[in-house]
Homo-oligomer: A and B are copies of this chain.
Amino acid sequence: MVSWFRSPRPRAPLPRLRSRSSHVVATKVDFAELAPDTSSYLGLVAYLQLGFFQSISMVSAISDLAAKETLSTAAGFALAKHHGVVAEIRRRGEDPTEVMAPYVSRVDDFLTLTRGASVNENLLSIYITQGFLDDFFIRLSDGLPHDQGARYASLLGADSGAAGIVSLLTDAIGVDPKRAHFLAMCGRRLLGDTLLLAQSALVLDGHSESDDARIEPVFTELIATHTRRMDALGLTA
């Protein structure tokens, strides 16, 4: 069994959500039980979408005109998801700024870690991290009260403009096939950072074996989807 708690390279620990161990039934293998409370979920997701919006906007700013069209559209999609989640926070009578505040440094660190040195690395980062994390938070919404979880999943499942980004990356690799090896390597590093951010959203009971048993099937499936994302670029995962 792969343990998701052992990082492939040393790094500073990410802050954890507060435990809700009283809710966890140790014998039941159920990923949904690892979901945080609704406010924490929405705060992290809202600020993460704002972060994706910022990252995509920044790549757009340094891209050529044709790519700007694709990227400004993708930025708009991330912003719409952010605003959708903010509306859900307000609907609960909570203040979006307060609810997002605990996740600012964690998400900012994640975005800094996953920022690339070139336009193509940044495009790959957006495609890989956003694709994985949207899927992850859709899965995690199963652990929230049913009607709410379904609404959040629907919000996050909306188009993110990934097809346009795939097209830009495929063109870039076509122009210079040497980029493929480097981007494949970047993809593996991005997966590692993304898994750690995803894990940080889970409320774990601290027993790594029982946590692993809950997490593994879902992460295995999300990683398979990640592999298909890399395949779509002609890259080895």
Contact = CB atoms under 8 A, between A and B. Distances in A.
B58 A86 contact: no
Given A73-B83, A76-B76, A79-B76, A54 B60 contact: yes
A144 B65 CA distance: 26
B82 A72 contact: yes
Given A61-B58, A65-B104, A104-B65, A72 B53 contact: yes
Contacts of A80: 76
Contacts of A65: 47, 97, 100-101, 104
Interface residues of A, number: 26
A161 to B, nearest CB: 12
Contacts of A50: 68, 72
Interface in A58-105: 58, 60-61, 65-66, 68-69, 72-73, 75-76, 79-80, 82-83, 86, 96-97, 100-101, 104
Contacts of A58: 57-58, 61
Given A76-B83, A79-B79, A57 B68 contact: no
A81 to B, nearest CB: 11
A200 B86 CA distance: 40
B53 A57 contact: yes
A90 to B, nearest CB: 11
Contacts of A72: 50, 53, 79, 82-83
21 contacts: A47-B65, A50-B72, A53-B72, A53-B75, A54-B57, A54-B61, A57-B57, A57-B58, A57-B75, A58-B58, A65-B101, A66-B97, A69-B96, A69-B97, A72-B79, A72-B83, A76-B76, A76-B79, A76-B80, A76-B83, A79-B79
Interface of A: 47, 50, 53-54, 57-58, 60-61, 65-66, 68-69, 72-73, 75-76, 79-80, 82-83, 86, 96-97, 100-101, 104
Given A54-B60, A72-B83, 7 more contacts: A50-B72, A53-B72, A57-B58, A69-B97, A72-B79, A75-B79, A76-B79
